[in-house]
Structures are given as structure tokens and as C-alpha cells.
């Protein structure tokens, strides 16, 4: 391979990323194969793969993943659904903005996991408190970021519509909504990561199934290989959701790229 070919290969965006992942895998493999690290603390890649296969064939992995995904989607859908109208209202109406911004600014700094004890007292140990935790942890960020997106709609775009005979609601749906769509999708993509963090936290505290629950069970039996399976599954699902949002954005808002 000539240097030119090598350079061209390295300039592919995914090549270096893949090399980074492979590098970590190699270091991981070598440090466990050489016996330098205790297997109890760091299981070998092979052991993790086998643990993963066992969990997959018994159906546990899928069941856990679906349980976690369902919580994330319910909580986040609720959050996204509330944040969109509230954020747009705050971005377009200064009175609503002044009314809500200090309140949201305050609550936003209360760590969502600190609400878990209250949520358990109010709603018990079922699904509802977990879904609400995700809602609480993301709705304020979603709202403020959507509000900002609305505030950055160029005045000229709205005023052009006004001078063309447009009025309130049509301007919202035909000017504001399409303009903010890419930022809203990006907001959701970014805050989805928090939703994933929170579902695991909620499951660590109390759950019968879910990827977080599996991790905390594995800890009790010192099954570090199963902990690794859980971590990798969480990472992969998160990555898939992130890529899904990016794909949706490229499809739906091609004008903004």
C-alpha cells in the first residue's frame, strides 16, 4: 500500500473511529490474556461475549433491553410532547417567558435522581415513577432549548409572512415550525442521552427487569462479565438512537445541512 492510498484510507471519517475502538479492544484483550489484571475485576472480551450470548439465547437480554427502551420512550415522548408547545409559547410570548423562565431555571438545577425518593413515596415501585423520572430529567432542558430555537427565528421570515397576509397560527405552523424543526430534532437527540442515564439510575434503585437492574444484580453476584454486557448493550442502543435521529434530520430537514 502506497502512502497516498494510506492517507486516503485514513481520511475516511469512520476509519480512525474504528481504529480507536479496535485499539481499546486489543489493550483489553492483552491485559486479560497476560494475566496482568484479575479476571474478577476485568473479564476477558471472550468471557463477556459468552455472557452476552448466554443472556441473548435465554431471552433475558432482549427482555431487559425492551423494558429499558420502553421506559425511555414513554418518559421521553411525554417530555418532548410537553416541551414543544411550552417552549414555543415561551419563545414567542415574552409574558409566558418571563413567567416560566426563572421557575424552570431553578428546577433544572435540581438533579433528577434526587426526585427518586419522592417519586417512590408518591407512585410506588411500578413503571410510573421511572417514566416520570425521565420526564422530569429531560423536560426542562427540552423546553429551554426549544425556546431558544424559537427566539432565533429571523425576524424577517416572520415579517415577510405578515406582509404577505399571514396571521398568528399559520405563521406558527408554516414559518416557525419548519425553521426550528432541525434544532428541535437535535435537542431531542442530545437530551435522549440524559434519558438513557436516568433509566439506568431508576432501575438500579428499584426494578424487576431492565438493563440497569441486570447490572445491579450482576454486582451482587460479582458477575463483572454480565456488568460489561449491560454496559455495552446500553452504549450500543444509545448510539443507534443517536444515529436514528441524525438520519431523520438528514431526511426531514435536508435544507439545513
Partner 1 sequence: MHLQVSNVCKSFGHGRASKLVLDHVSFDLHSGEFLALVGRSGSGKSTVMRLIAGLDHPSSGSICLDGQPVVGPGSDRGMVFQKYSLYPWLTAAQNVAFGMELQGRSRSEVRERTGYFLEVVGLADAARRLPRELSGGMQQRIAIARALAADPKLLLLDEPFGALDIQIRESMQEFLHQLWQRTGLTALLITHDLEEALLLANRVHILAPNPGRIVRSVDVQLDRSAMPDVRLSPEFLAMREDLAKGLRALEPALPS
Residues at the interface with partner 1 (CB under 8 A): 154, 156-157, 159-166, 170, 174-175, 178-179, 253, 255-256
To partner 1, the closest distance from the beta carbon of 162 in angstroms equals 4
Rounded Cα distance, 249 and 257, in Å: 9
Among residues 174 and 250, whose Cβ is nearest to partner 1?
174
To partner 1, the closest distance from the beta carbon of 182 in angstroms equals 9
Among residues 5 and 156, whose Cβ is nearest to partner 1?
156
Among residues 85 and 154, whose Cβ is nearest to partner 1?
154
Q: How many CB atoms lie within 10 A of CB 4?
A: 8
Contacts 24+ apart (CB under 8 A), 215-222: 222/40
To partner 1, the closest distance from the beta carbon of 181 in angstroms equals 8
Among residues 180 and 234, whose Cβ is nearest to partner 1?
180
To partner 1, the closest distance from the beta carbon of 172 in angstroms equals 12
Amino acid at each position: 500500500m502506497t502512502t497516498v492510498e494510506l492517507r486516503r484510507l485514513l481520511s475516511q471519517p469512520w476509519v480512525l473511529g474504528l481504529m480507536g475502538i479496535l485499539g481499546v479492544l486489543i489493550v483489553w484483550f492483552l491485559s486479560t490474556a497476560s494475566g496482568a489484571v484479575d479476571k474478577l475485576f476485568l473479564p476477558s472480551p471472550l468471557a463477556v461475549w459468552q455472557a452476552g450470548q448466554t443472556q441473548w439465547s435465554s431471552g433475558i437480554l432482549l427482555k431487559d433491553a425492551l423494558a429499558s427502551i420502553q421506559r425511555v420512550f414513554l418518559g421521553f415522548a411525554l417530555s418532548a410532547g410537553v416541551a414543544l408547545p411550552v417552549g414555543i409559547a415561551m419563545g414567542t410570548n415574552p409574558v409566558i417567558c418571563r413567567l416560566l423562565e426563572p421557575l424552570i431555571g431553578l428546577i433544572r438545577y435540581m438533579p433528577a435522581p434526587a426526585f427518586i425518593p419522592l417519586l417512590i413515596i408518591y407512585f410506588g415501585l411500578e413503571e410510573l415513577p421511572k417514566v416520570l423520572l425521565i420526564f422530569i430529567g429531560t423536560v426542562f432542558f427540552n423546553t429551554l432549548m426549544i425556546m431558544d430555537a424559537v427566539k432565533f427565528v429571523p425576524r424577517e421570515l416572520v415579517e415577510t409572512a405578515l406582509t404577505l397576509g399571514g396571521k398568528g397560527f399559520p405563521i406558527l405552523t408554516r414559518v416557525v415550525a419548519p425553521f426550528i424543526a432541525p434544532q428541535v430534532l437535535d435537542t431531542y437527540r442530545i437530551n435522549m442521552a440524559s434519558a438513557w442515564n436516568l433509566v439506568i439510575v431508576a432501575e438500579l434503585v428499584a426494578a424487576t427487569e431492565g438493563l440497569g437492574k441486570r447490572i445491579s444484580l450482576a454486582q451482587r453476584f460479582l458477575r463483572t462479565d454480565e456488568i460489561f454486557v449491560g454496559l455495552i448493550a446500553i452504549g450500543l442502543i444509545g448510539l443507534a438512537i443517536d444515529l436514528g435521529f441524525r438520519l431523520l434530520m438528514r431526511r426531514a430537514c435536508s435544507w439545513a445541512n
